[in-house]
Amino acid sequence: MNLAYLAPRVVRHFMPEKLADWMKKRKVIIKAGIETIDPQAAAQRYLQYFKQENISIKNKVILIFGYGGNISTACEMLKAGAKRVILCERKGLPYPIPDASYQKKYPAYFQMDAQGVHFNENVLAIFHEDIRLLAHSSQLEQVDLVISSSVFEHLDDVDGITKALSALTKKGGEHFHFVDLRDHFFKYPFEMLTFSEQTWVNWLNPTSNLNRFRIHHYRNVFEKYFSSVTIRIVESNDIAFSKTKPSIKKDFLSGDDRSDAATIITIKTMA
Question: Can you spell out the DSSP letters for 198-222?
Answer: HHIIIII--TT------HHHHHHHH
Are the C-beta atoms of residues 213 and 180 closer than 8 Å to each other? no
pLDDT at 32: 58
pLDDT at 26: 57
pLDDT at 31: 62
Residues of the chain with pLDDT under 50: none
Q: At what angle do helices 39-52 and 72-79 cross, to 10 degrees?
A: 40
In degrees, to the nearest 5, what angle opens at C-alpha 94 toward C-alphas 9 and 66?
Answer: 65
pTM (2 d.p.): 0.91
pLDDT tens digits for 25-74? 656 556 655 566 677 888 888 999 999 988 899 999 999 999 988 899 99
pLDDT at 28: 55
pLDDT at 18: 72
Rounded CA separation 203/83 (Å): 45
- Strand pairing report for 169-180 and 143-149: parallel
pLDDT at 23: 60
pLDDT at 189: 97
What structural domains and CATH numbers belong to the chain?
Answer: 3-270 (3.40.50.150)
